[in-house]
Each structure stands twice: as C-alpha cells, then as structure tokens.
C-alpha cells in the first residue's frame, strides 16, 4: 500500500512545483521581464563613434585650428600666396613630403620629435556629458579635469570627455565635418565588426542581475540589408585573437547594463587604415529596448596616449606608412599640435615616475542589433 501513496505524493508535489514555477514565470514576465533578462543575448554594433557634440558659441574664442596648407598660406605675403592659390600642385609640392619613409622625420609618426606649434582647444567651462562612478550619466558645466595625483583611484572619479576638448576647435570634428561622416562607415563597409554578448552569471543567487559581458572584435564583415544597414540576427564569429575578447562583469537591471571598469582592446580598422582602440578603465552603459531588441549606450574610458598617438595622430596605413599628415590637413590641425594638446589635457593614469597623465578620457556612443555571437571552442 505504501508504494501508491508515495507515488501519489510525488505527483502532487510535482504538480505544485509546476504550478509554482508557472506562476513565478508569469509574475516575472509581468513585473519587468526578469526572466527575459536572465537569458544570454548577443549583439553586433551598427554604430560606434566618438561623442563630438560640436563647438558651441564661445567655446573656441580664437577660431578653429588650421592644417598644414592653411598655415603655410597664411604665413606668406599676399602676392606670393596668390601664386600658390592659382597652382595647387605647387602648394602640394611646397608641403611635401606627405608620406615619410623614415618615421623619425615624420611629424605625425613621431610628433614628440617636433616643437609644439600650438593647438586651439576648449579650455573654458564646458557643458559635457560624463559617466559618474555609479555608472549613471550626468551633464554639467565644468572646467577641464586635472591630471589626478599618483595613486588616486580612477574608479572613484567620473569619466569625462577631455578628448573632445582637444578636438573641439577642429573643423573636421564638428558634427558636419569629416570625422562624423566617416564614423559609421567603417562598420557598414566591413572594415570593423564589434560583437557584444551578455551572459547571466548563474549560481550566485543573491545577484540575479549579475552578468558577464563580452565585447569583442570579429574579422567577419556585418551583413547588410537592402537598406544598407547591418541586418539583425546574423551569425558572426569572434576574432580568433584572444586579445580582442574583452570580458567584464556588470549588472543588467531594468534593461540597463552597467559594467565594471575594464581594459579594452578592439580592432579599429578603417578602410585601408589599420589600428586598435586601447581604453583603460573603461565602462559600458547600455540600454536595451525590450520591444525592438536593439541596444544603445555609451562606452566611456581612458584612451592610452601611446595607442591614441598611433591610431589617431600617426594613423597607420596597412602598407606601414603614416597617413597622419594628409589626414591632419584634411581635418584642419597639425600632428605635433594635437600630440601636445592631448598630453596637456590628459586626465588619467599618471605615470608613477613623472606624475604626467598617460591617458585621456573619451566617450564613444554605440548602437547594436541582436546577433548570434559564435565562439569557436579550442580543439
């Protein structure tokens, strides 16, 4: 007789468990998609660009910077200037070489070898978006951040956007300029693919919103739809180089992801240019739209000056040459000018020996659509 009773109790218990499970699932879905947040999600970035809000009135009281050509012309007497205006080839020759075989002679490959010609930057009070230590965003009018003292904990500071102060008085970095136009083309043309994966951390019952975030490069171009935009739900493998697999923990609460600080390396290829973005103590803040599945947010961090100099001043070509000088002329700045301005406004990671800051705060905006992130397991 005992046997059937045990069986009966077993079934009763199972039914109760199933009912409870069903009701909790329903409750979870109805009260803020808790269950929805506990699944793994993959994304591919469709837009990734520097936050360059544009110079406001009074931000650049002395005007915009000038590139090599304009500086050269401005230094000439009027009569002589006219002869160059009528013969652009002569102007190009006067400013040659534009590409250098010897990096030591190249003001863009080795800007520190050259004197500072000066660069106009935004040095006054400025309304800037920043990321606070708790991961929230704020916007307030403030003076440039100072380089912190050695040993100061950067995690206790808001991450500013001092790089905009450097580039704010550059014509090509205004919202209608070259940098903004180029910003997103690198994803669409297949030069640069960045993947994001958010995985719930299980087994830590008190941390229901704890997630592991993977931000990684891929060598596979995005798949474009007929509208020219990256298609969602493409299957895209990670780059094989582990260097470009950046993992960090964070929280996903009410559709908002905020990561801890992490160092980031991603491939930042652009057409024939080839470089890497190296941010230190970066944080990602992402808002996920449950209706569309899309995500958007900000990546704030400190751009290592060595990496910045390579990627954004030298501008390494895939042929090994520096495209820095023509790029600087196009945007309207000089390479040594930019280099010294970056050093002057650097606000992160003071060198223990010199006390000089070795990184500068920067904020990127990003948008993403769902994707299947394919991790290749080692054989």
Binding residues (CB under 8 A) for other proteins: these are 69, 73, 84-86, 88-89, 91, 171-172, 174, 176-178, 181-182, 185, 188-191, 219-221, 224-228, 269, 271-272, 274, 318, 330, 332
Cβ distance 222 to 187 under 8 Å? yes
C-beta of 169 vs 298, nearer to other proteins:
169
C-beta of 72 vs 372, nearer to other proteins:
72
C-beta of 109 vs 328, nearer to other proteins:
328
Other Cβ atoms less than 10 A from the Cβ of 315: the count is: 23
Question: Minimum distance from CB of 173 to other proteins (Å)?
Answer: 11
Question: Minimum distance from CB of 189 to other proteins (Å)?
Answer: 5
Contact residues for 73 (Cβ-Cβ < 8 A; gap 6+): 81, 84, 85, 91
Question: Minimum distance from CB of 228 to other proteins (Å)?
Answer: 6
Quote the radius of gyration of the chain (alpha carbons, Å): 26
Cβ distance 346 to 358 under 8 Å? yes
Question: Minimum distance from CB of 229 to other proteins (Å)?
Answer: 10
C-beta of 228 vs 352, nearer to other proteins:
228
C-beta of 111 vs 332, nearer to other proteins:
332
Other Cβ atoms less than 10 A from the Cβ of 38: the count is: 14
C-beta of 179 vs 308, nearer to other proteins:
179
Which of helix, strand or coil describes residue 223? Answer: coil
- Kindly give the residue spans of alpha helices, DSSP state H, lying in the chain: 2-30, 34-37, 68-74, 78-85, 88-94, 162-167, 178-183, 185-188, 305-308, 324-331, 335-345
Cβ distance 91 to 73 under 8 Å? yes
| 179 conformational bin, left if phi > 0, alpha if psi -120 to 50, beta if neither | alpha
Question: Minimum distance from CB of 207 to other proteins (Å)?
Answer: 39
257 bridge partner residues = 252, 286
Question: Minimum distance from CB of 119 to other proteins (Å)?
Answer: 18
The four Cα atoms 357, 359, 361, 362 give a dihedral, to 10 degrees, of 160
Question: Minimum distance from CB of 63 to other proteins (Å)?
Answer: 14
Residue whose structure tokens are 């990602």: 284
C-beta of 191 vs 208, nearer to other proteins:
191
């Amino acid at each position: 007789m005992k046997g059937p009773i045990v069986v009966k109790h077993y079934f009763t218990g199972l039914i109760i468990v199933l009912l409870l499970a069903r009701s909790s699932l329903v409750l979870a879905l109805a009260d803020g998609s808790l269950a929805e947040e506990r699944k793994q999600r993959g994304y591919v970035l469709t837009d990734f660009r520097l936050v360059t809000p544009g110079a406001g009135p009074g931000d650049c009281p002395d005007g915009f910077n000038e590139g090599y050509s304009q500086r050269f012309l401005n230094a000439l007497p009027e009569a002589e200037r006219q002869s160059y205006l009528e013969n652009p080839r002569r102007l190009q020759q006067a400013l040659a070489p534009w590409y250098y075989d010897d990096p030591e002679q190249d003001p863009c490959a080795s800007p520190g070898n050259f004197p500072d010609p000066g660069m106009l930057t935004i040095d006054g009070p400025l309304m800037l978006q920043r990321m606070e230590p708790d991961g929230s965003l704020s916007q307030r009018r403030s003076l440039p951040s100072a380089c912190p003292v050695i040993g100061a904990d950067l995690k206790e500071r808001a991450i500013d956007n001092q790089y905009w102060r450097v580039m704010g008085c550059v014509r090509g970095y205004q919202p209608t300029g070259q940098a903004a136009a180029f910003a997103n083309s690198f994803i669409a043309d297949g030069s640069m693919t960045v993947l994001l994966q958010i995985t719930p951390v299980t087994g830590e019952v008190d941390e229901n919103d704890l997630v592991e975030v993977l931000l990684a490069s891929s060598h596979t171009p995005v798949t474009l739809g007929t509208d020219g935009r990256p298609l969602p739900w493409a299957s895209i493998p990670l780059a094989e180089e582990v260097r470009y697999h950046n993992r960090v923990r964070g929280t996903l609460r009410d559709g908002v992801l905020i990561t801890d600080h992490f160092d980031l390396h991603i491939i930042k290829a652009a057409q024939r240019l080839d470089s890497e973005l190296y941010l230190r103590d970066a944080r990602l803040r992402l808002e996920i739209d449950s209706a569309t599945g899309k995500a958007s947010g900000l990546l704030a961090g400190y751009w290592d000056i060595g990496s910045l100099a390579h990627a954004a001043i030298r501008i390494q070509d895939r042929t090994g040459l520096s495209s820095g000088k023509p790029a600087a002329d196009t945007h309207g700045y000089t390479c040594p000018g930019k280099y010294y301005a970056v050093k002057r406004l650097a606000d992160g990671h003071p060198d223990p020996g010199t006390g000089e800051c070795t990184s500068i705060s920067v904020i990127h905006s990003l948008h993403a659509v769902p994707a299947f992130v394919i991790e290749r397991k080692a054989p």
